[in-house]
Chain A
Amino acid sequence: MTSKKVEKRREVSIRFCGDSGDGMQLTGTKFTDETALAGNDLSTFPDFPAEIRAPAGTMAGVSGYQIHFASEQVYTPSDSPDVLVAFNPAAARANIGDLRPGATLIINVDAFNKKAYQRAGYTEDPLPDLRERFHLVEIPLTTLNREALSGLDLNQRAIDRCKNFFALGLLSWLYGRPMKSTERWLESKFKGDVLEANLRTLRAGWAFGETTELFPVSFQVPAAKIESGTYRNITGNQALAWGIVAAGQLMDRQIFFGAYPITPASEVLHEVSRHRNFGVKTFQAEDEIAAVSSSIGASFAGNLAVTVSSGPGIVLKQEALGLAVMVELPLVVINVQRSGPSTGSPTKTEQGDLFLALYGRHSESPMPVLAPSSAGDCFTTVLEAFRIAVKYMTPVMVLSDSYLANSSEPWKIPDVDTLPRAPIQFATADDSGNEGFQPYERDPETLARPWAIPGEAELEHRIGGLTKEPVTGNVVYDPVSHAEMMRLRGEKVDRVSADVPPVEVDGADSGDLLVLGWGSTLGAITAAVDEARKAGQMVSRAHIRHMNPLPSNLDEILGRFKHVLLPELNTGQLSMILRSRFLIDIQSLTKLAGQPFLVSEIRDAIDSILNNS
């Protein structure tokens, strides 16, 4: 075995791409786990089609997984990968637009036959051109994998399906990733010849790297210096699910989770369903309406209720959410936003549902809205949403999105003992005075009404969607009661401000430019502002996660800057709100491509404002 030279790298980004049946998401996640265990900071971006198995070898079926890792802090999956691993011509063709000239392109050269490149839409052999433009590494992946697995009692198809692990082994060698976690995962997942095949080809991939002349050097990306603690990888959807489970534990109450399958939110239902031993009751309803209605019913009965969906499902739930506002019951509604109206692009990302969350119900139907800004933040946000919902007796909407849902980052595991515990106070017979129980008597501080649950004596009461008299909750139609209850519901949500921390500015307190963001754009904005500062520009940054009510110091902070740039993945919904609320000129940067912002897009907007001011 020759000992090759090892070069140090500060950061690397790699994109794996192939057919949606090639196992690219799996390859990506396993490489990510190895990278996390190597101590790098990282950010990932899985990007896959809505079709489960589009016709093989076509552009429609290309699935990709990008990872960016470094020995310093990483904010985004990176605009442009340093290395593209393409399993077939379609994958190459669909992705090389994102590559810089001279970047490394590793291909499975066995898959670049005439039939395959024609199916991908190339009219002539693309290899000469690719050799010209990139550092092309041609590896006969199919052949090498077959050779590695010869002698095993598996058919050709089963053998060929293992080739992604050959590639994983090779890339693991190239970047010095420990493969222990992958081997452990394979051992937990497979048995017999299939296990043997995957392990063998994984190790063969590593060994190939060590011996081949195609790679004269391998690379080392030293561990990042991060805050001490115990870490794990987490995706946004997993964090939402664990936040739900944790809420039941911390608030000492059973969780009821009503849901209907929808991309990209279903994984939350899947994950929570695995944890019935926490006493969580997941309920797969017949439709989105039943999912939210059963959840509101569960809340009436005293459970911590949550429903999770995506845009099209949230629209269907809105009538019931209006009822939840009217009857003032706690409920957490999670919207993992996806892109486009109607079915749109179900697996792609967008922040297009802010108006839907704030204004998407009939009449005046206010509700607190929170937006997590990273995968790990999804956990914290769900816990916060439950606390607000119970304290103020209100539905609360959480706006995650497809990007947060699927991308992963290292997450410092919180110490369970330090997480805020918030046991619930239900109304008791003592709350029933001489006049009997008053279901709309309000807490003077929060304006919350009591939570009185069936089974509790002396508190029998009726609630519903009709206009009610304050205090008694009796059905009335008089204008005074109507106006008073409208006002109280609005003011109650405004009072949630007491639990909204002030927004913090990163950088100078005042100046020429503040880049303001919300939700999942945090990574791209932070990276762009970082770059700008390194280039000598004075740029401040602030990020909000409380969309309603907004942090009370926001108005004042915005006023301290000459320019405010607000990038969002919609047509400028938050910009429009802030302009009308604060009469401030916000410069909106919008994108509606189903993809997160590139760092360069925000960087360019910063340049353009500062250069023209």
Chain B
Amino acid sequence: MAAPASELTRKDFVSSQDVRWCPGCGDYSILANVQRVMPEFVDKKEDVVFISGIGCSSRFPYYMNTYGFHTIHGRAPSFATGIKASNPDLSVWVVTGDGDGLSIGGNHLLHSIRRNMDMQILLFNNKIYGLTKGQYSPTSNPGTRSKSSPQGSIDYPLDPISFALGAGATFVARTIDVDATHMQQTLRRAHAHKGTAFVEILQNCPVFNDGVWEDVQDRKQRVENSISLVQGEPLVFGTPGNLRGIVMEGGDPKVIDLDDEDDPVSKGVVVHDEHLESTAYAFALATLTRPECPLPVGVFREQRKATYEQMLEQQIEDATSAQGAGDLHALLHSGDTWTV
């Protein structure tokens, strides 16, 4: 664990407002973990801004004792863009959900990821609209029965990880609401990344979509149904006696059985590499589907690229050294003038 960067503690990040999520909501655990790791990230909480859109997840900023902005449905990444561009020194966090971020706000999420500003985007995915009381969302499983789809939803779902990869994300990760250790590790990695860090957090809605992630939330089932992505480690999952690994066959991932004493690498099991130039591997991981394949959690991809705000500051610097600092009198008198 990283050493605390400041005198701050978890409590400093807890606001005075009563938390109003439903009992048992996965958001509680996410809030607690974020508050726990924040003291490691900043030594001044006034440098932190949480920005959200609309939805259950978007109440998040009210509970953080930092600067916070609860904006409008789907647009949080755009507000965050203006905040970060104005003051690149701020630690900027966007909190969104599957409906807010991928439905009404899909366009802004796409473009903010593409611009690669140095900010964290946490997308809580519970595969349902909660605050509007239970309609299927763009990530809902096909056939989801909800108030707006009593016969089952007929939309094909969107995968947030593939979406982020497709948008050119320089950091893409997934973690689970109930796995505190993994979530904190993932948040640390997201914060350390220079650029837009996209983190999908699998989150349970106990009221409208209870158990949708049960096969990876339940501790016993998790080892069989998920695979932890660790840089330089082979993609192995399961328990002794039932170990399995992932190999690539013609570009497609496939699960093979392993004996306990097998060297997975010599059996062709893929060694995880977040830094590959091509996105093909990360996409292949994102398309692993249960129950045949495990659900990957951890960092899918990380790349270093200049951030938007760095390039913006650079352009201002370049313009200033080429044209000199702005002179209003000279601007107004530029070009043809005449004196009467």
- Taking the complex as formed, is A399 at the interface, i.e. its CB lies under 8 A from any CB of chain B? no
The residues in B between 232 and 250 inclusive whose CB is less than 8 angstroms from any CB of A are: none
- What B residues does A233 contact at CB under 8 A? 336
A278 touches B44 (CB 8 A): no
- Taking the complex as formed, is A455 at the interface, i.e. its CB lies under 8 A from any CB of chain B? yes
- Taking the complex as formed, is B278 at the interface, i.e. its CB lies under 8 A from any CB of chain A? no
What 0/1 readout, one digit per residue, does chain A (235-270) give for beta carbons within 8 Å of chain B? Answer: 000000010011001100010101000000000000
Interface bin, chain B: 35 or more
- What A residues does B65 contact at CB under 8 A? 460
**Residue picked from A289, A300, A456, most chain B C-beta under 10 Å:** A300
Measured between C-beta atoms, what is the minimum distance from B29 to chain A in Å? 21
Report which of A231, A283, A293 forms a contact with B338, defined as CB distance below 8 A.
A231
The residues in A between 173 and 208 inclusive whose CB is less than 8 angstroms from any CB of B are: 181, 184
- What is the bound-complex CA distance between A254 and B82, given in angstroms? 12
Chain A: residues with Cβ within 8 Å of the partner, total of 70
- Taking the complex as formed, is B151 at the interface, i.e. its CB lies under 8 A from any CB of chain A? no
- Taking the complex as formed, is A84 at the interface, i.e. its CB lies under 8 A from any CB of chain B? no
Measured between C-beta atoms, what is the minimum distance from B12 to chain A in Å? 10
B68 touches A462 (CB 8 A): yes
A297 touches B86 (CB 8 A): yes
Query: Please, which residue of chain B has its CB at the minimum distance from the CB of A299?
Result: B82
Report which of A226, A276, A323, A456 forms a contact with B316, defined as CB distance below 8 A.
A276
- What B residues does A456 contact at CB under 8 A? 46
- What B residues does A460 contact at CB under 8 A? 45-46, 65-68
- What is the bound-complex CA distance between A453 and B46, given in angstroms? 9
B332 touches A413 (CB 8 A): yes
Query: Please, which residue of chain A has its CB at the minimum distance from the CB of B104?
Result: A289
The residues in A between 399 and 458 inclusive whose CB is less than 8 angstroms from any CB of B are: 413-414, 416, 453-458
Query: Please, which residue of chain A has its CB at the minimum distance from the CB of B49?
Result: A454
Given the contacts A294-B82, A296-B79, A463-B68, A232 and B331 also touching, CB distance less than 8 Å: no
- Taking the complex as formed, is B181 at the interface, i.e. its CB lies under 8 A from any CB of chain A? no
B78 touches A297 (CB 8 A): yes
Given the contacts A283-B82, A413-B332, A277 and B337 also touching, CB distance less than 8 Å: no
- Taking the complex as formed, is A216 at the interface, i.e. its CB lies under 8 A from any CB of chain B? no
A466 touches B326 (CB 8 A): no
- Taking the complex as formed, is A474 at the interface, i.e. its CB lies under 8 A from any CB of chain B? yes
A464 touches B67 (CB 8 A): no
- Taking the complex as formed, is B320 at the interface, i.e. its CB lies under 8 A from any CB of chain A? yes
- What B residues does A303 contact at CB under 8 A? 82, 86
B70 touches A462 (CB 8 A): yes
Interface-side segment among A31-39, A540-548, A590-598: A31-39
A226 touches B340 (CB 8 A): yes
A245 touches B326 (CB 8 A): yes
Report which of B47, B69, B78, B315 forms a contact with A276, defined as CB distance below 8 A.
B315
Measured between C-beta atoms, what is the minimum distance from B60 to chain A in Å? 10
- What B residues does A39 contact at CB under 8 A? 338, 340
- What A residues does B108 contact at CB under 8 A? 286, 289-290, 293
A301 touches B83 (CB 8 A): yes
- Chain A interface (Cβ < 8 Å from any Cβ of B): 33, 36-37, 39, 181, 184, 223, 226-233, 242, 245-246, 249-250, 254, 256, 258, 275-279, 281, 283, 285-287, 289-290, 293-303, 305, 319-320, 323, 327, 413-414, 416, 453-466, 474-475
